[in-house]
Structure 1
Amino acid sequence: MGRCEDARIRLLCFHYAGGSASMFRDWQRLLPHSVEPVAVQLPGRADRFGEAPYTSMTALVDRLVEVLKPALDHPFACYGASMGARVSWALAHALRDRCLPMPRKLYVASSSGPVLEEVVRGWNETDEQLVAYMRELGGTPPEVLDDNDLLMALLPALRADLTVLGTHAYAPSAKLDVPIHAFAGRDDFEASPARMAPWRAETSATFDLDVLDTGHFLDDNGLRHVLDVIGSDLA
């Protein structure tokens, strides 16, 4: 997304495992003009398909700090969906450790609280088991699941993303002093409201949890609520 010079605050957006920055393609239009969404595209997908995806949270976050430094010259917040929530959280800790500017707020969706240290499924399983997991989660179009060639092309990035999560056992020494607003789907078996409530333990600032009538992947109503909250907060 292009820079919006009159924006008062940037919103760094991190996609879910196996996803891409295209999930944020309409956010510039749907958010107030004073909020500039900056969609982060991880390697191994879409226009970065030819690049090797990261399999380590430490390596990924180190690279993100390097790449995003120019965008930190302006007030910013972070939004992360599923894997993206954990990436934005790890990034905030890395920024603090390096005495770099910190986000004004973290918005996390569809991701269990880090303190739970839940087992991540899929990353060390067979292709068949990983595809079954995709079907169980929902969110992947049937035409993709039924196209074996396309599916096999997508699996490496998804497996790499899940490996980032499955091998990350970071236990920070101190909480973030950053407000966190969490969004949980009532029907999300991966990151239920009860599993998202422990995000409260990750901040010494304020914490809010909104429960939405959706599953792991936000439906249109859930997305509209998330955008309304972010827009109201940051505008």
Structure 2
Amino acid sequence: MSKVRKAYHGLQRLLKFSPWILKILYFNFHYFPFKQAVKLPVLLRKPHFIKLKGKVIIDNPKVRFGMITMGKLVNTCNPDSGIILDLDGMLIFKGEAIFANNSAIMIQDDGIITLGSHMDCAGQIKCAKRIEFGDDCVLAYNSMVMDSDWHALTDVVSGKLVKKTAPVKIGNNNFISFNCLVTKGTVTPDFCTFTYNSHLCKKYDVEPYSLLGGNPCRLLDEGYYYDRNNN
């Protein structure tokens, strides 16, 4: 594709986000170095800014226009509410990402979320300490990932608070279907698929290409994976 044609398509795409251009400009120039910000790597549709503190980093040598899209209307059966951003920690993008309508990201204090390349998210991610996704992951609509219980319990004998946070690490090419809940301490291998309404809550010592599901989540079958390029 020629540079002129590429620029034309880029302009057409930007025009679709024109109602939110001021917020797009603010977000990009607030978080990124000038050489990255002028490329407008992040496009926002119906963004709701609760807090824009901390850092947002694109850890990729090839930063380009619109490589990260947030609030895109993908699921027409879900509320067309854009994306909610409540950032007070660090958000790291390793590459391209799409966040659909009705998605949200919340990072507290020193929390860190790392998203592998080609992240596809239509759910909510709530981070107190550390959440990491590998490359080519899908988090389907109405699903939530969180590394904290958020409300600690007190031991009646010792009076101490029960540990309420533990890191979450999702392997490469994981597909987490709709209405799933991923809670603290979850660790998954590469190429795993989780069926709808599953509760992920521990380290899963299974082979790649495993199909898991249920509450609590368990191994259902083997020899399957989600190929986003052939689906």
Per the normalisation by structure 2, the TM-score is 0.25
More strand by share: 2
**Bigger relative contact order (CA 8 A; separation at least 6):** 1
Per the normalisation by structure 1, the TM-score is 0.25
More helix by share: 1
